[in-house]
A and B are shown apart, each in its own frame.
Chain A
């Protein structure tokens, strides 16, 4: 026997009593006895399948049985069981009928849905697999035709984004990039092929996309995106797709999208992990709601330093392209207010709920950022001033100087602070491998009286190693300027670069 507290709306079924007794060893038995005694309750507590309705909450003392053993939760005579209604409601939409749940910010995409020119016969053929789906249809295809999407970057993410958007029939596709194709890009940047190495990325991108779909207009902008040009570049476009690989540009794209009220289909990749979301919609959060401040420079390595699984940008870029297409057509449930995290090694997706931060400096209720700022400075990156050679003479050595001194027979200890897998790709003959992370526990293996040259891939990690060694009493530590890449360029071109 236990006491059950009855909420107001159910009291008509318990002879107006606000508490009734029932018998049973578990919550389930207790409720069964309750509905036997007061049969009018049954329809309100249970659904047609005999399951407790989702908006019926049952508490044992102060605990929701969902977090105990549900209906198997044991009860004894001293327990108080409460039935507590969840009161819920809302408006119907067409989507309810199809049981597609749309979040609140869906309306943000509504004004994207301009109808373009009627489709030509060739276009009907080309897009027939779209047209036969009622969710897309001729109307959706014409919205794509009228739409303008700007891709920031024609690299790992920009490649699949631009290819799928071009194939899908986005009428105007803009691409911003100022890089040239490098061999190290080919492992993932599928817009570019081996014959394109050395060419501007925009050239090879335009050719590939034009071959894929000659019906669309491809606009290329061979500039570095900056606070001076971003607003002007973004202005004619409906959706911006952020495929950048660095924090200053990421914050710049975010802020420009918020200021212009344009959705930002965001994606980023690092090693085996990718992220995606849609920022910058009217009611949705922005990148700064998630990360108000950039990480300290150097804390989060870039793909060039940390590496990236080649197929990873394929998946994340396709998610960005999917979101762009959905926003344009106004269908489905956009990735607004949700932050998707993908782990390629474990093959898992996680989703974090993101809320718009009312105190967000750019999209909050009282924004402090109302124009584009200096993002390099914001991210703690100061442009490298031409440094007087003399300043670094004592702490740095160039590849050519190192070669000359080795040839002279100087006793130099060369310490490579890269990771073992990098050491397998290329190395300076005679160097010893002590990865940066191991230096603090292994520096005892080095003789503080030796003259030591530290190096890494480009000079960043080895500068930290050199600082550390000096701090523990090493007097003669030189950092190889430009790392092994400079060594290969200037001294030993037979070795591969990465």
Chain B
């Protein structure tokens, strides 16, 4: 199922997420997406604090979540969501991702196969929590103010 929501990542942000995923491979990386509307302007890489095996799990602890919110406020922006990597797994959300998802947030997933970042996707939780819907990921510098409203749609 697809969502009409979108997320815009500029080339440097996209590269930074890929690099982060490659650096932490074979473990999952994670970080916060900060920006305005549907446009990501800043990334906050965060430590993966999971105790369940970082090859298959990531966890952002509450103090890091607060840090991300604070950073967004300092920049006069919003916390738009989080990114994480799927080492040697496709860039599709898992049941585990769904069970732990928050509404409105954008979830960017980058697949890292044998240490090399590959496809990147973005997902949004459906309001009734039943499913993740794939959004469209836009690369490049242009933001689309007209679609920014759909972020909370």
Q: Identify the A interface with B (CB < 8 A).
A: 7-13, 40, 43-44, 55, 57, 59, 64, 84-93, 96, 101-107, 283, 353
Contacts and interface: CB of A to CB of B under 8 A. Distances in A.
B50 A8 contact: no
Contacts of A8: 69, 72, 78-79, 104-105
A88 B50 contact: yes
Nearest to B98: A89
A84 B66 contact: yes
A89 B84 contact: yes
Residue in B78, B102, B105 whose Cβ sees the most chain A Cβ within 10 Å: B102
B52 interface: yes
B58 A89 contact: yes
A84 B61 CA distance: 9
Residue in B55, B94, B129 whose Cβ sees the most chain A Cβ within 10 Å: B55
Given A9-B104, A43-B128, A104-B56, A89 B51 contact: no
Contacts of B79: 8
B97 A89 contact: yes
Contacts of B82: 87
Interface in B48-102: 50-62, 65-66, 69, 72, 78-79, 82, 84, 86-87, 89, 93-97, 100-102
7 contacts: A7-B65, A7-B102, A84-B65, A89-B107, A90-B97, A92-B95, A104-B54
Nearest to A58: B62
B85 to A, nearest CB: 9
Interface string B14-52: 000000000000111010000000000000000000111
Contacts of B96: 88-92, 96
B103 A12 contact: yes
B52 to A, nearest CB: 6
Residue in B62, B66, B128, B129 whose Cβ sees the most chain A Cβ within 10 Å: B62
Given A7-B69, A89-B94, A92-B95, 9 more contacts: A12-B104, A84-B62, A87-B58, A89-B84, A90-B28, A91-B28, A91-B87, A104-B53, A104-B54
A-B pairs with lowest CB-CB distance, top 10: A104-B53, A104-B55, A90-B57, A92-B94, A9-B102, A89-B97, A87-B60, A91-B89, A103-B53, A88-B100
A413 to B, nearest CB: 60
B113 to A, nearest CB: 12
A59 B63 CA distance: 11
A353 B95 contact: no
Contacts of A59: 62
Given A84-B66, A87-B30, A91-B86, A9 B105 contact: yes
Contacts of B95: 92, 96
A420 B16 CA distance: 69
Contacts of A96: 94-96
A90 B54 CA distance: 9
Given A57-B62, A96-B95, A104-B27, A90 B104 contact: no
Interface residues of B, number: 44
A9 B68 CA distance: 13
Nearest to B128: A43
B62 A89 contact: no
B52 A101 contact: yes
A283 B53 CA distance: 11
A85 B101 CA distance: 9
B56 A44 contact: no
B62 A64 contact: yes
B135 to A, nearest CB: 15
A283 B25 CA distance: 12
A12 B105 CA distance: 11
A86 B60 contact: yes
A84 B102 CA distance: 11
A59 B57 CA distance: 24
A104 B93 CA distance: 19
A91 B62 contact: no
Contacts of A105: 53, 55
Contacts of A93: 56
Contacts of A64: 62
B16 to A, nearest CB: 18
Contacts of A55: 100
A367 B50 CA distance: 26
Contact of A85 (B52, B57, B102, B127): B102
A88 B59 contact: yes
A102 B56 contact: yes
A8 B78 CA distance: 8
Contacts of B104: 8-9, 11-12
A104 to B, nearest CB: 4
A89 B54 contact: no
A87 B59 contact: yes
Contacts of B58: 87-90
Nearest to B72: A8
A96 B98 CA distance: 13
Contacts of B105: 8-9, 87
A375 to B, nearest CB: 32
A40 B57 CA distance: 28
Contact of A90 (B26, B51, B56, B69): B56
A107 B55 contact: yes
Contacts of A353: 51
B71 to A, nearest CB: 12
A89 B69 contact: no
Contacts of B57: 88-90
Nearest to A64: B62
Contacts of A107: 26, 55
